[in-house]
Structure 1
Amino acid sequence: MKLRLLLSAAILPLTFAVAAQAADVAPSAAIEPAGDGLFGRVVSADGSPLPGAEIIVRGSGRRAVSNTQGEFSLPGLTGDVVLDVRYIGLPHASQSVVLTPGRAAQVTVTLGGDDVTTVADVVVTGVITDGVARSLNQQKNADGTINVLSADAIGRYPDPNVAESLQRVPGIAIQRDQGEGRYINVRGAPSAFTAVSVDGVTVPAVDPGTRAVDLDTLPSDIVSNIEVSKTLLPSQDADSIAGAVNIKTRSPFDTRRLAFSGYAGGSYNDYGGDDVRAGATVSNVFGPNQTFGALLSLSYSETNRRPENIENAWVEEDGVFVLEETLFKQYETQRTRQALTGALEWRPTDQTRLYVRGSYADFEDDEYRNTLILGYADGALQPGATNTTATYTGARIYRGLRHRTQNNEITTLVLGGEHSFDNGMVWDADLSWANSEQTYPHRDELVYRSSATTLSYDTSNHYAPSYFYAPGNPIFGDTASGFFATPGNFSFRENTFRSNTTQQEDVAFRTNLEIPSQFAGREVAWKFGLKYASREVDADEERQRDRAASANPGTLASLWGDAQGQNFGYRLGTQYDKGLVDAYLAAAKGSSPRRMPDSLTADYTAQEDILAGYGQARFDVGATNITVGLRVEQTNFDGSAPTVIDGALSTAAVSRDDTDFFPNLTVRHAFNDNLIGRVALTRSISRPEFSQIVPRRVEETDGLDVSYEIGNPDLQPTLSNNFDAGLEYYFASLGVVSANVFYKDLNDYRYILNYTEDLASGGEADFETPINAPEGHLMGLELNWQQKFGFLPGWMSGFGVFANFTVTDAEIKTAQNYGGRDTFALPGQSDTNYNAALFYEMGGFSARLSYTKRSDYLEEINADTADLDLYVEGREQLDFTASYDFGNGVEVFGEAKNLTDSAGIKYYGSRERTYEYEKFGYNAFVGVRFKY
């Protein structure tokens, strides 16, 4: 149905194009400009577009800012005008234009060339500095507070995906999976508080458990630039409490000629093996007067990882913290990323443009995991246990092999157009389709279990902090003897099979109309818009388990290979043969029992329809730019999930209808050409995760642990009233120093509560459910300094620095006490986060040494005791990149990541109670870039 809607609605932009052509274009001269006004481009001396350039009409003070193709428009102008053009890092320019009534004029302003009148004498060149200039000019001249990462800047870091690129932005930290960035935390907020779009198309999450987008699915080399809006305007979707990330792909009008570029290279990871990455982009403009443009971009990468991992499950028994189990994981993982972007654009006149843009990204994680589980809790805890030592009799050891394949796909498609009318009105409309899908074709596992044995441990020599190069050496049970390595001590326990698919499909239509006018003696730009978005979510999971004697594949030794396992120096014995286990599991799956009844409860469907409208006015009072407006969003939600009660299957459903208002005041003031101040009062929202709001009860079994995930149909969206203020000083020699403060008053913040309860069938299980905290806040200070030291003499002028530091304070207040507490840190919030980079660029050589660090943060709240709240230890990373450009379109480069060999660590309440210790190793990459 949504596909039919997409096709039927496609006629709208086409009708718009025909109408615009009929009104503005003579049949014999399709590109002859018509109407009043000025349309132009700002370019550098080599013809490259300059985004973010500020164009001022001398005398009237009327202002425009160039877009990513360097284009700008000033409709409605007549007579002789003088344009003053300013761009940080290049000489300013002034250019006279004669405008004939009834006919639009075209102009190209070149900065840094010989044919302009310069009013400054500083010119910066170089790949790093050019990327910085593009970013700073867009940030300086934006109405709200934004940060921009250009493709040039991204390419100077060893960041293979968008998440890792964004960690360089002030106020952004990342969450990692096996050492690779996956989610982002903007200004200390949870990852779900940040919306992500590609070319303006909202991207649905691939993971069904969150609205946060897995940014490791998107490779960084498909990007033209990334814009992070930390304050929103009424014209932007309100679902971004922390900020909105818009990833812009390349356009054929970036270069306006036949252009080809690419790169290729390989790397080595000391915890894995050889990796490869490659990408290519080709574009051209063609047709009469080059009014058509086409672009195609491809990207591919393959990484091999063998991280070392140890996990511990802690509980409290009679006032003493003891281990339930210790889990050693021996990984062998291959990750591949493939991406394709394309664009078709038609610009028959300066006033009219139509486009189709699409992107596709595919991420596959194929993982084998040998596991050794010391199951202390299978036995009886002996007297004399302490917080670091314990002995269990009747304990068991589990040895398993899991083969899991995860596949993420993100697809976006947008069809749209824009037209500027002779009277200065601008109308745009687009129809978009986005689809995100996460599939686990299989998560199959074979497990053997030992006979009863006695296990002891001593964790007094606990893991070292992440800035050391090795963990401590706790003594874990049977890794010191040969019992676990003797096949005859083990017998077949079970095989399990899981597969699931979650698909989120989003169709949206959006239109905006901007109207210039005079109001109270001032020029006021009114802007109105509507958006309708409909998202459908479908989650399906299959689970099977077989413990029958008929499924027994034989002795454990018959499935072993030749490899010996080792994890942080612990000897894990002979490992399973992957081929033998895969063959057994493939044969056993067909004869396994039917789907487990409780696995039905993991399925759910949901539909969320959002109808939004806004109105805003933008006007100037001297050097002050003011935007004021209101956005209204109505949300209709329907969701359902199967339930199994006493063996009977039924369906539970929820239906909700909410309307929210989002007032907005954004003020930008230019104290002078270099000093910019901003203040914003805004309101924003974060809607509940789909999986949390549907009424479902899902059982999860992982090794010895049994847990339940409980949905909450009464879960409310989080609303935030926001205050932002900042000062930015821009150096003419290319640089900025800035300070921004922010405060977010949170209402109905949602969090995951973890607790333990006894089961009626005996034993106990862990439960988690989302609930709302009635109040909370997030506030902080963000400092940023970027500068190239061009004022230094000779070769020293090639040095420059990037540095930013963010400090935040946050808490939530719950409606009830948990373990004697009702006030908690905000999950996902680090008190401090900072980046520092020193770069050097001279001639064709450039190099950058970069360091990033975030402090500890809370991940999960335990309802029973603060000593079992789960924290993630802060992590640091040191990276280095260098390149040499031969000046003929060929450049060689090298990268080194994680030179500190930093670990990923999680702990319960205190670092002595380590939950997870994982190391990923360093990565060294060399390659070549080329462009034509």
Structure 2
Amino acid sequence: RKSVLSAAIVTCLGFAVQVQAQDAAAPATEPTATELDTVTVVGIRGSVERSLDTKREASSRVEVVTAEDIGKLPARNVADTLQRLPGVNISSSSANEGGFDENDRVSLRGTSPSLTQTLVNGHTIASADWFILSQVETVGRSVSYSLLPSELVGQVVVNKSSQAYLPEGGTMGSVNIITRKPLEFPDQLTADMSIGVVYSDLPDTTKPQFSGLLNWKNDADTFGIMVQAFKQVRELRRDGQEIVGGFSQIAATDPVAATNPDLIGVYYPSLPGAVYFTQTRERAGGLVEMQFKPTDDLTLGLSAFESKMDAKNYNRNYMLWTGNFVPKQAPLPGYVVEDNTLVQADYAGVAGTGYGIYDMISRPESSSEAGYATFDIDWRGDNLDVKGQLGTTKGTGKTPTQNIAEVVTGRGAGGGWQLNGTGSPADWYINGTTAPTTDGFGTWGIQYYDVVDKEDWASADAHLRFNDGVLASLDFGLRYADHTREVNSPFGSDPGAIGAALAGAPVGWYPGDFGNGLGGNFPTDVWYFTQQALQDAVNNNSTVRKDGARHNYGSEFHIDETNTAGYLQANFEGDRWDGNLGLRYVSIDQDIQYYQQLGPGATVTPDVSSLFGNFLVINDSNSHSKLLPSANFKFDINDDLLLRLAASQTMTLADYSALAGAVSLANLTHTGTAGNSDLDPTIGTNFDANLEWYFMPRGLLSFGVFSTDLKDYVKYDSADGQYLNDQNGQYETYNVVKPVNADGRVRGVEVAYEQPIGEFFGFSANYTYADGEYDEAAADGNRDLVGTSENTWNASAFFENDRFNARVSYTYRSAFYHGMLRANQYYQDDTENLAASVGYKFNDNLSVSLDGLNLNNGTLKYYVASGRPQAFYNNGRQYYLTLRASF
């Protein structure tokens, strides 16, 4: 009992602090939060004022959120914090896994998250994902924000217009997360802590939350050390309906064509399923910052950060096996075809035919982590400042074990479905009741995946000031980086005869309220083998093959990129105006290795072989160089009104999984994904204009327009090809999606409004309109850009006095194109999110808060082209109760 209590105390304590922050990435002419005021401002009103001051004084187009702002928002990670800013879009998934209850990706102005660069203190941070599809199929350049808790942040600056000193990689802009620095704290010793729990209403569980900060500096302000730590546990439950295979088409050669020729070419839902997903997330890590000033002019810094999330999960999907009977069997009279889709059909049972198939996939060791370490030198002279940095960052995502059971259900039972459009789940059924079974059993397990993302870099930056004249200063610098991304799948286990071991094994059942938040009428009283039973059966009856026999070469790739960059930026000042002109030169070399599977009858001698087939080792290389200009201009029309103009070219390399030729196949649907190593980088030509009216303290009304032409953006086409089915050893036809370069554009408008109301109230709202499309339509006429939501708007209101504070925030994002799901174009429907927080301050040292997330309990909806439903998910609400103390 003592050890349990000790652990509970440790995991319940946490820290939060509201202090000043400094943008380490900006040149000295860029005003920082610390330089704007000489006193610390606290509270929601103070943080709003500080954010607006930083935005107003910046020489380029930025959005800013300060530490106190984050502390008073209902936010669990940095993405939660950013979602209320104009022009910022948030999504809660990175691949095609569907959304969860935590925001995970950030994008700007209606584009893919891969076109938004995420920085920490001006440098890159590696990233990887816990979910297997994000690890091996959609391996992008975006950062997983689920590893970045909001307590980490002193300030976040969103750069919407480029400047030469910013690292390339953000075609649409960058997000710079600025941590606190030890010597910036006003007191010699600072300790702030909190005690917290989170209640998740769908799994009906309460778990502890911990974060902490301790800062010390000496009396002379020449040495300081800050330590932050966090550990946060949360259970997730997601109820869902998925049409896993999208929509398949009845062919003229299918047996049903002879009896029902009117169904030739008609689409039908492939594998509609009742999906029950559970997960425990344990996020833990910390940040250490050290600063030493041996002289007044020289500051040395050492920083190290690590965040790891253990994300064990169990996904159960009980499905109507339409592909096993629809092409072969005539539906009962009364079936309905609308828009070339079989929207309603019933089927009588045929002896021996399986009408259901059920997948149980346990991944008890899934995890992701990210970290970095940097050493900084900052020397400030009379007219010349010089900064240098050495750094390394690494991210990993692992799926060491997959225990999978697949059984046939509803043998000879019959079944059917009724589609209800994209707004509501389908009604579907399998006749009769289904008891636990191992009929038609299939399994595989321990198909190991290990993703590594790492970068080493060195940079030097200088800022030269001039005493008079229009040319106020020059910024110039160099940066070299070596980046590696690789996916490894070196071993797995042979499929074992575990059906007998699972016969009579312990089972669980879907919760009694499963699907209540979704709507639709489909099976909910569903059994499943317990995770322990499945794990025991696999471990005791399967053999792990580390001899190369189960080496999954087709899923592996290795990319190494070396990046050399230099920049020069001239900063100008005049009467009521300032601006800058800059050039950044970038030279990138890519070495790409992947494996090409040999087809049947190939005469070429394979380089490597395994049970997954014969493969050639392919080594490709690319070189890209580009001169990227940028210009920013700010004019103070009067004391309250200013105009900003910006133009630039920016560059982002194609996603790693798009470049690598690794092939991932889904045997059940005969679809898959592959890469294209010949992809060019995306070049953005950007124009931005914004009018900002600071009509009162903490008051802002702004209107802006933006335009980006995207050269060599990436889109996806699909084509049929011959690939090895690793379960039966036969080469079969698969429809595989591949990326190609295509030009596109995005145009838009941003409006923002922020105003205090009296002494204690405040209100803010913003709206973004984005129109994005490819210049050339796909074969089916689709021109939609990945990530483009036409309409996004946010509104929030707060109250704050000396003791009590409250805030409510609402976010809306309209539907957007998510990418290709196998051979189908995949969209996410409109999303809404309501969050609120209330807090009470007992005294200067102690406060309590209650935050509520996803209070509207919205359903995440997905659909494919032609208005066919794809998936529906409900994640429930979360409530965070936190007690904070400061010393």
**Aligned-partner Cα distance in 2 for 1:400–1:693:** 31
Q: Does 2:201 align with 1:201?
A: no
What is the CA-CA distance between 1:187 and the residue it aligns to? 1.0
What is the CA-CA distance between 1:193 and the residue it aligns to? 0.3
The one of 673, 681, 701 aligned to 1:717:
681
The one of 300, 314, 319 aligned to 1:373:
319
Change (3 A) 1:914 1:152: same
What is the CA-CA distance between 1:561 and the residue it aligns to? 4.2
The one of 649, 654, 658 aligned to 2:615:
649
Query: Does the CA-based 8 Å contact 2:438-2:502 persist in structure 1?
Result: no
Question: Aligned partner of 1:575: which letter?
Answer: Y
The one of 253, 264, 273 aligned to 1:327:
273
**Aligned-partner Cα distance in 2 for 1:421–1:461:** 69
> What is aligned with 1:12?
none
Equivalent positions of 1:387-398 (< 5 A) are 387-391=342-346, 394-398=353-357
Change (3 A) 1:263 1:48: closer
**Aligned-partner Cα distance in 2 for 1:604–1:909:** 31
Q: Deviations over 1:656-683 (max 9, x none)?
A: 1111010111111122332221111100
The one of 849, 852, 858 aligned to 1:902:
858
Equivalent positions of 1:114-125 (< 5 A) are none
> What is aligned with 1:259?
190
**Aligned-partner Cα distance in 2 for 1:47–1:150:** 9
The one of 482, 485, 502 aligned to 2:451:
502
Question: Aligned partner of 1:142: which letter?
Answer: A
Query: Does the CA-based 8 Å contact 2:108-2:173 persist in structure 1?
Result: yes
> What is aligned with 1:304?
235
SS at match of 1:274: strand
SS at match of 1:906: strand
Change (3 A) 1:697 1:579: closer
Compare 228-237 and 270-279 and name the one that shifted more: 270-279
Equivalent positions of 1:278-317 (< 5 A) are 278-286=210-218, 289-312=220-243, 313-317=246-250
Query: Does the CA-based 8 Å contact 1:559-1:577 persist in structure 2?
Result: yes
Q: Does 2:292 align with 1:346?
A: yes
**Aligned-partner Cα distance in 2 for 1:47–1:488:** 57
Question: Aligned partner of 2:266: which letter?
Answer: V
Query: Does the CA-based 8 Å contact 1:599-1:698 persist in structure 2?
Result: no
What is the CA-CA distance between 1:591 and the residue it aligns to? 5.7
Compare 376-385 and 332-341 and name the one that shifted more: 376-385
**Aligned-partner Cα distance in 2 for 1:543–1:725:** 54
What is the CA-CA distance between 1:237 and the residue it aligns to? 1.3
SS at match of 2:688: strand
What is the CA-CA distance between 1:66 and the residue it aligns to? 4.8
> What is aligned with 2:103?
181
> What is aligned with 1:753?
717
> What is aligned with 2:734?
765
What is the CA-CA distance between 1:649 and the residue it aligns to? 3.5
> What is aligned with 1:512?
461
**Aligned-partner Cα distance in 2 for 1:587–1:555:** 11
**Aligned-partner Cα distance in 1 for 2:815–2:445:** 36
Question: Aligned partner of 2:752: which letter?
Answer: N
Question: Aligned partner of 2:147: which letter?
Answer: T
What is the CA-CA distance between 1:518 and the residue it aligns to? 6.6
SS at match of 2:441: strand
Q: Does 2:622 align with 1:690?
A: no
Question: Aligned partner of 1:624: which letter?
Answer: W
Q: Deviations over 1:271-297 (max 9, x none)?
A: 12213212110001116x121010000
> What is aligned with 2:78?
162
**Aligned-partner Cα distance in 2 for 1:319–1:356:** 64
Change (3 A) 1:542 1:224: same
Q: Deviations over 1:12-65 (max 9, x none)?
A: xxxxxxxxxxxxxxxxxxxxxxxxxxxxxxxxxx9975879xxxxxxxxxx966
SS at match of 2:571: strand
Equivalent positions of 1:718-733 (< 5 A) are 718-733=682-697
Question: Aligned partner of 2:703: which letter?
Answer: A
Query: Does the CA-based 8 Å contact 1:617-1:628 persist in structure 2?
Result: yes
Q: TM-score, with normalisation over the residues of structure 1?
A: 0.81
Compare 502-511 and 731-740 and name the one that shifted more: 731-740
Q: Deviations over 1:778-798 (max 9, x none)?
A: 1111111111113xxxxxx31
Q: Does 2:851 align with 1:922?
A: no
**Aligned-partner Cα distance in 1 for 2:421–2:229:** 46
SS at match of 1:170: coil
What is the CA-CA distance between 1:351 and the residue it aligns to? 2.2
Query: Does the CA-based 8 Å contact 1:438-1:503 persist in structure 2?
Result: yes
Q: Deviations over 1:162-195 (max 9, x none)?
A: 1211112211121113121111121111100011
> What is aligned with 2:180?
250
Question: Aligned partner of 1:871: which letter?
Answer: Y
**Aligned-partner Cα distance in 2 for 1:633–1:284:** 40
> What is aligned with 2:771?
809
> What is aligned with 2:253?
none
Query: Does the CA-based 8 Å contact 1:381-1:391 persist in structure 2?
Result: no
> What is aligned with 2:703?
739
Question: Aligned partner of 2:694: which letter?
Answer: Y
**Aligned-partner Cα distance in 2 for 1:215–1:715:** 27
Change (3 A) 1:110 1:370: closer
> What is aligned with 2:745?
777
What is the CA-CA distance between 1:452 and the residue it aligns to? 4.0
> What is aligned with 1:76?
none
Q: Does 2:442 align with 1:493?
A: yes
Change (3 A) 1:130 1:202: same
Query: Does the CA-based 8 Å contact 1:429-1:511 persist in structure 2?
Result: yes
Question: Aligned partner of 1:316: which letter?
Answer: Q
**Aligned-partner Cα distance in 2 for 1:894–1:450:** 46
> What is aligned with 2:562?
609
SS at match of 1:290: coil
Change (3 A) 1:489 1:259: closer
Identity %: 21
> What is aligned with 2:606?
none
The one of 418, 429, 433 aligned to 2:378:
418
Structure with more of its chain in strand, by fraction: 1
> What is aligned with 1:531?
479
Unaligned 5+ runs, structure 2: 1-16, 93-98, 130-134, 251-263, 517-522, 600-612, 725-729
> What is aligned with 1:144?
60
What is the CA-CA distance between 1:817 and the residue it aligns to? 4.5
Q: TM-score, with normalisation over the residues of structure 2?
A: 0.85
> What is aligned with 1:116?
none
What is the CA-CA distance between 1:455 and the residue it aligns to? 3.4
Q: Does 2:223 align with 1:271?
A: no
What is the CA-CA distance between 1:497 and the residue it aligns to? 2.9
Query: Does the CA-based 8 Å contact 1:754-1:862 persist in structure 2?
Result: no
What is the CA-CA distance between 1:555 and the residue it aligns to? 5.5
**Aligned-partner Cα distance in 1 for 2:482–2:633:** 33
> What is aligned with 1:97?
none
Change (3 A) 1:887 1:553: same
**Aligned-partner Cα distance in 2 for 1:900–1:645:** 51
What is the CA-CA distance between 1:756 and the residue it aligns to? 5.1
What is the CA-CA distance between 1:691 and the residue it aligns to? 2.4
The one of 306, 318, 326 aligned to 1:360:
306
Query: Does the CA-based 8 Å contact 1:309-1:916 persist in structure 2?
Result: yes
Query: Does the CA-based 8 Å contact 1:337-1:361 persist in structure 2?
Result: yes
Change (3 A) 1:350 1:138: farther
Change (3 A) 1:197 1:377: same
Unaligned 5+ runs, structure 1: 1-45, 53-62, 72-85, 88-108, 112-124, 466-470, 791-796
SS at match of 2:103: strand
**Aligned-partner Cα distance in 2 for 1:490–1:497:** 22
> What is aligned with 2:389?
430
Q: Does 2:749 align with 1:818?
A: no
Query: Does the CA-based 8 Å contact 1:441-1:500 persist in structure 2?
Result: yes
Compare 600-609 and 717-726 and name the one that shifted more: 600-609
Question: Aligned partner of 1:481: which letter?
Answer: G
**Aligned-partner Cα distance in 2 for 1:735–1:370:** 50
RMSD across aligned C-alpha pairs, in angstroms?
2.6
Query: Does the CA-based 8 Å contact 1:653-1:695 persist in structure 2?
Result: no
Q: Does 2:114 align with 1:192?
A: yes
**Aligned-partner Cα distance in 1 for 2:544–2:216:** 56
Query: Does the CA-based 8 Å contact 2:478-2:567 persist in structure 1?
Result: yes
Q: Does 2:877 align with 1:877?
A: no
Q: Deviations over 1:334-383 (max 9, x none)?
A: 01111200111012344221111111111121111222122110122425
The size of the alignment, in residue pairs, is 798
Query: Does the CA-based 8 Å contact 2:634-2:642 persist in structure 1?
Result: yes
Q: Deviations over 1:833-862 (max 9, x none)?
A: 111001111221110011001000012258
> What is aligned with 2:532?
579
Query: Does the CA-based 8 Å contact 1:698-1:708 persist in structure 2?
Result: yes
